[in-house]
Chains A and B, each alone.
Chain A
Amino acid sequence: MSGAGETNAVGGFRQLHGLGVACGLAAGVWLGAAEAPTKLVNSGLSPFAISLCMVAGVFVARWTVPTLLKGTRYVFADLKENKHLIFTAILAGMLWAVANTLTVFAIRDVGLTIAFPLWNTNVLVGIFWGSLLFGELKGASRKNIAKVLLGALAIIVAAIMLGFSTIQGGGAHSGRALQGVLAAAGASLLWGTMYIPYRKAYISGMNPLSFVTVFTIGELGTVLALVLTLDGGTKAAIFHSPETKHLLFWLFLGGFAWVIGDLFQQYAAKYLGIGRGIPLSNTNQMWGLAWGVLVFGEMAHADLAHKLLVAGGSLVMILGALAISTAVATEGENAQTKHTLMRECNRYGLEYDRVLRSYSGIEGGNRDERRGWWDYAIVAAAVGVFAYLGMNARAPELGMNMAWLWVLAAVLVVTAVGCGWGLWKATRFS
């Protein structure tokens, strides 16, 4: 993996295309799996409340994983060096939270059939910002531009096909079509724009682990604010229902899987750019469907047309991912990236060599990675929270295919270990 990635090491610039592709695909696997535990939650809680519980799980995991991998001393030293990006990272979390809530409104008003394709165009929004603001694909060969654009389009089309395959009947509408379309378009705009802060952080030499640590504050704060303002305030059912503690474990588990997926997505955005990274991680649709179909038997009674949509959608998605995976940036595009790094350094008075090393995944400086007692306390507290929730968890009587569950769980472990090992070996999680 690292060998495939290190195809270009000129003037301190090291290209990690192979590693970035592996991270993008691993992000798809884990983000898709994050949906699985939520299928065990059948509580009647509002989408706002479910989102809040999941984000609380995300918050716990987001502080734990960076602590495990690098230690809080390292994370805070990195944040101190990139103080000007702290608000940017919080803003990215806020964008995620608002976009996620907009999708709830979109589904309510126009149904998943129309809403899903609309917000999936966030890929195109991301490619647009990547090109306009960060010079992505500038200086690229025509072949590579075609591969990225057609690959992204193929992944959108495939996601639509997979989305349609899960819909039986037309889905109910509330007669608020325009509002629903606006909500879905808004989610697309926000989820596509959210990648600007991602990319901004990495062209400034920030570590993805520090970025997500701050990102989660914006995410949790905004979701909490939305529950308090739009979902009944302190009287919201989530704060009072005795059922909450029985289902929190599943939502926290979903949040945990989401954190691992998002971390890989961050590394994909760093080492591939957002134009290539977003479409690859959007393959999560295929994995989410795989969990639904293979483990929960969601298409057991589907007709041939729906089954063909799944097979065709999966194939188109794989071809799209393949096209993007093989679009390795050439020297012209790398020169543009160096120019972007230089512009950032001039603007904020950053040290170019440090930023270039960090961007290339080369751990520089003498940052303290020793773990303090508080690091162990954070990890122990997180494990304690999960153990406590696990002891109180109740699962509904759902027929699950345990053989497929183990197969997909094994895929998760293999991708996490493989990509984690690759990241450690090539970059020390830089």
Chain B
Amino acid sequence: MTFSKKARAIFTDSHLLIPLVAFFIGLALLITLH
């Protein structure tokens, strides 16, 4: 598998994107509440 194909597979993977979005929601919440 080529590097670009693998990179695309990683960065369009919901298994990574959903936790990433959750992390930023949590971080935003933390900064707001602090």
State the A residues within 8 Å of B (CB). Answer: 84, 87-88, 91-92, 94-95, 98-99, 101-102, 105, 109, 129, 133, 179, 182-183, 186-187, 189-190, 193-194, 196-197, 200, 226, 230, 347-349
Chain A residue with Cβ nearest B10: A84
Q: Which residues of A contact B27 (CB under 8 A)?
A: 98
* Residue from B1, B10, B16, B29 whose CB has the most chain A CB atoms within 10 Å: B29
Q: Which residues of A contact B23 (CB under 8 A)?
A: 91, 94-95, 98, 190
Residues A101 and B14 in contact, CB atoms below 8 Å apart = no
Task: State A88–B9 Cα separation when bound (angstroms).
Answer: 13
The SS class assigned to the B binding surface is helix
Q: Which residues of A contact B20 (CB under 8 A)?
A: 91
Residues A102 and B22 in contact, CB atoms below 8 Å apart = no
A262 CB to nearest chain B CB (Å): 17
Given contacts A347-B9, A348-B6, A349-B1, contact A194 B19 (CB under 8 A): yes
Residues A183 and B19 in contact, CB atoms below 8 Å apart = no
A154 CB to nearest chain B CB (Å): 26
Residues B26 and A196 in contact, CB atoms below 8 Å apart = no
Residues A193 and B18 in contact, CB atoms below 8 Å apart = yes
Chain B positions 7 through 33: 1 when the CB is less than 8 Å from some CB of chain A, otherwise 0: 001100111101110110111011001
Q: Which residues of A contact B9 (CB under 8 A)?
A: 84, 347-348
Residues B33 and A183 in contact, CB atoms below 8 Å apart = yes
Given contacts A91-B23, A193-B22, A347-B9, contact A101 B30 (CB under 8 A): yes
Residues A189 and B22 in contact, CB atoms below 8 Å apart = yes
Residues B13 and A347 in contact, CB atoms below 8 Å apart = yes
Q: Please pick, from A102, A133, A196, A197, the residue contacting B30 in the complex, using a CB distance under 8 A.
A: A102
B20 CB to nearest chain A CB (Å): 6
6 contacts between A and B (CB under 8 A): A91-B16, A91-B19, A101-B30, A186-B26, A189-B25, A200-B15
Q: Please pick, from A95, A182, A197, A349, the residue contacting B15 in the complex, using a CB distance under 8 A.
A: A197
Residues B14 and A84 in contact, CB atoms below 8 Å apart = no
Task: State A283–B16 Cα separation when bound (angstroms).
Answer: 28
Residues B29 and A186 in contact, CB atoms below 8 Å apart = yes
Residues B1 and A133 in contact, CB atoms below 8 Å apart = no
Residues B29 and A196 in contact, CB atoms below 8 Å apart = no
Q: Which residues of A contact B1 (CB under 8 A)?
A: 348-349
Q: Please pick, from B5, B10, B19, B30, the residue contacting A105 in the complex, using a CB distance under 8 A.
A: B30
Q: Which residues of A contact B34 (CB under 8 A)?
A: 105, 230
Residues B13 and A105 in contact, CB atoms below 8 Å apart = no
| Given A99-B26, A105-B34, A182-B33, 19 additional A-B pairs, CB 8 A | A84-B6, A87-B10, A94-B23, A95-B26, A101-B30, A105-B30, A109-B33, A133-B14, A183-B33, A189-B25, A189-B26, A190-B25, A200-B16, A230-B30, A230-B34, A347-B9, A347-B13, A348-B1, A348-B9
Q: Which residues of B contact A182 (CB under 8 A)?
A: 29, 33
Q: Please pick, from A95, A102, A197, the residue contacting B29 in the complex, using a CB distance under 8 A.
A: A102
Residues A88 and B22 in contact, CB atoms below 8 Å apart = no
Task: State A345–B27 Cα separation when bound (angstroms).
Answer: 32
Residues A197 and B19 in contact, CB atoms below 8 Å apart = yes
Closest A-B pairs by Cβ, 6 of them: A349-B1, A193-B22, A98-B26, A186-B29, A200-B15, A190-B26
